Amino acid sequence: MDTLVEPFQYGFFRHAIEVATVAGALCGLVGVYVVLRGMSYIGHGLSHAIFGGAVASYVTKINFYVGAGLWGIVSALLINKVARRRTIGADAAIGVVTTASFAVGLALISRFGGFTRNFEAALFGNVLGVTATDVWVVVGVALFAAAVVFFCYRELLFTTFDPEVAEISGVKTGRFDALLAVTLAATITATMNVLGVTLIAATLVIPAVTARLLTNRFALMLGLSVGLGAVCGFVGVYGSYYLNISSGASVVLTGVLLFAIAFVASGPTRVLPSGLRSESDVDSVPLPREPSRSV
């Protein structure tokens, strides 16, 4: 028993597991919208874009969260704006804006140097090096994201499901797309130090797709995704202590394991109870279009 609670006697570990649990829940919440909008690529792209902001804030000696956060919000809004040009498309818009932003970061590193240690933390995460400030920032952004989803639930759902009809029905879809873009940028900025640029996309996507496999109800998918994200964060960091592996990788691998279990359980030879299934037995409906648009 002592062995099981041993890591909790260390302050750095308590911080790490708190922040990873909240960051996992936060990514699970925002990830539902990312996945349902067919925008999984944006998590990957935006995290790279914010890396440029992280370097720029380091070089200009601006607070990381302020510099990288603003950079991320501008990048997200820019992607949103560019993607609305029908001739370009969301995926190409993400490609242009995010790689340009990442390249700015690399250019600044090669020109000014001195970011080497932070560079690794930004890329791969350093959950064991988080400070109390990092914890509070993640908690603050999680509360903001929860408030956005709570107060704009209907509008975000309608805009995600059927943006044209939502617009006709009086929902200002442009505003809600922008609000979601800002929330996503804030989420990635807050969790970058914890999870790392290269792994954030996975924490956004895996809990949400796992939840999708388990339910056909939107509200339940939100709840499950938040719960699964939190479990991945907690178990991932806890497991990394004993397995002596990178905590970011451990969080992601925990998610992959849960996804694999859900995938098998909800597959053709289902073991899930009927109330907790996503696939229907009805096959006589048209295949859906592949949604591809801005956040």
Per CB under 8 A, residues contacting other proteins are: 36, 86-87, 149-151, 153-155, 157-158, 160-162, 164-171, 212, 215-219, 221, 278, 280-282, 284-289, 291
Question: Shortest distance, CB of residue 253 to other proteins, whole angstroms?
Answer: 26
Q: What is the full DSSP assignment across 36-58?
A: HTT-HHHHHHHHHHHHHHHHHHH
φ, ψ dihedrals at 141, nearest 5°: -70, -35
Closer to other proteins at the Cβ: 48 or 212?
A: 212
Provide the b/e sequence for 6-35 (b: ≥16 CB within 10 Å): ebeeeeebebbbbbbbbbbbbbbbbbbbbb
Closer to other proteins at the Cβ: 144 or 218?
A: 218
Question: Shortest distance, CB of residue 154 to other proteins, whole angstroms?
Answer: 6
Amino acid letter at 227? Answer: G
For residues 207 and 29, the answer to whether their CB atoms sit within 8 Å is: no
Q: Is 89 exposed, middle or buried (0-12, 13-18, 19+ CB in 10 A)?
A: middle
Question: Shortest distance, CB of residue 89 to other proteins, whole angstroms?
Answer: 13
Closer to other proteins at the Cβ: 194 or 222?
A: 222
Question: Shortest distance, CB of residue 281 to other proteins, whole angstroms?
Answer: 8
- Going by the DSSP 8-state scheme, the letter that residue 6 receives in this structure is G
Closer to other proteins at the Cβ: 109 or 213?
A: 213
Closer to other proteins at the Cβ: 91 or 167?
A: 167
Question: Shortest distance, CB of residue 94 to other proteins, whole angstroms?
Answer: 20
